[in-house]
Copies of this chain bind each other. A is one copy, B any other.
Amino acid sequence: MMDKIDNYSINTGDKRSPLKNIIEQIIAQRIWSKEILLKKGDFLKMEDTIDTNLYLVEEGSLRFYISDDHEEKTIRFGYGGDLVAALDSFITSSKSPLNIQSIRKTKLKLIRKSDFTDLILKNQKLKNAWEQILGILLLECMEREIDILTKSPLERYKRVLARSPRLFQEIQHKYIASYLNMTPETLSRISKS
């Protein structure tokens, strides 16, 4: 859910990205509680459950989706090197409609919200990095909102391709189509043209 953070340049006075700063400290201080191995198709979170953990994706890929009228709508992906979470549940500590599913063999480190909060509170630089990350996630969400509202499938495709080339390298065609809110057939037609 925090992919593509490097693409935004926020004036930090620090050449490293805020996300890299935080991941480095998670690793240096070993604040994860356990490691999780998911087979392709396994669920990390099901809809209408609470999950306040963060996950550091060591390898593999995840997709985040919601169900609407029996249709699965993919809304985010997590890649190797990302820090991901069901952000709505993480922020509110309440149930969320998100499903998080492994779409290939995936290795994760689980970080409890309380351990993450402790890490951030001890270090003003990390607290600032987290604030920057929230801003970046907000920007990404606003970009995503405009993506979905863009009527032309070709324009939607172009917007997302420009912003998220990794998506097209790592994710299966059917999930890209779901993310772009179009049928796999429409995506095939567009990507060949």
Number of copies: 2
Given that A92-B8, A134-B134 are known contacts, is A66 also in contact with B141, CB under 8 Å in the complex? no
Out of B10, B91, B142, B152, name the residue touching A139 (CB < 8 Å).
Answer: B91
Whether a CB of chain B sits under 8 angstroms from the CB of A131 is: yes
Give every chain B residue within 8 A of A87 (Cβ-Cβ). 138-139, 142
Asked if residues A68 and B150 are in contact (CB atoms below 8 Å), the reply is yes
Please encode chain A, from 149 to 186, with 1 for each CB lying within 8 Å of some chain B CB and 0 for all others. Answer: 11110010000000000000000000000000100000
Q: What residue in chain B is nearest A65 (Cβ atoms)?
A: B149
A residues lining the B interface (CB < 8 Å): 8-11, 66, 68-69, 71, 73, 75, 87-88, 91-93, 97, 127, 130-131, 134-139, 141-142, 144-146, 148-152, 155, 181
